[in-house]
Amino acid sequence: MANIASQIKRNRQNEKRRLRNKSVRAELRTRTKNAVTAAQAGAEDSIEQLRLAVKRIDKAAARGVIHKNTAANHKSRLVRRVAAIEAAAAAAYEPADDEVGEEVDE
């Protein structure tokens, strides 16, 4: 433990910030997971969940919890992931092109 008063104060401030940042990062992970889970389930509110996750990422970057470039990377990865899940779900429901309109003669 430090003997200097300013360092003791700095330690107190850093601990408060660490705990605050920890909860913000935990919420980022939760919102991201909710967005991906909603997309996988095909929920109607998956777009809303994605919007909330992106909003929290932006807010964390604005407050300095994460760097703005890190926030951009998180958003890009999340949007690509959700889009891929939704594209795969859409492809599963659409018949293949060669199966549409073909009649089999026996």
What is the number of domains present in the chain? 1
Residue 15: inside a domain, yes or no? Answer: yes
Residue 100: inside a domain, yes or no? Answer: no
Confidence of residue 102 (pLDDT cuts 50, 70, 90): low
Q: Contact 65/21 with Cβ under 8 angstroms?
A: yes
Distances in Å between the Cα of 8 and the Cα atoms of 11, 15, 16, 59 are: 5, 11, 13, 30
- Residues 33-89: tens digit of each pLDDT: 999 999 999 888 999 999 999 999 999 999 999 999 999 999 999 999 999 998 998
Residue 83: inside a domain, yes or no? Answer: yes
Instruction: Give the mean model confidence (pLDDT) for residues 9-14.
Output: 96
Q: Contact 50/35 with Cβ under 8 angstroms?
A: yes
Q: Which domain holds residue 68?
A: 8-90
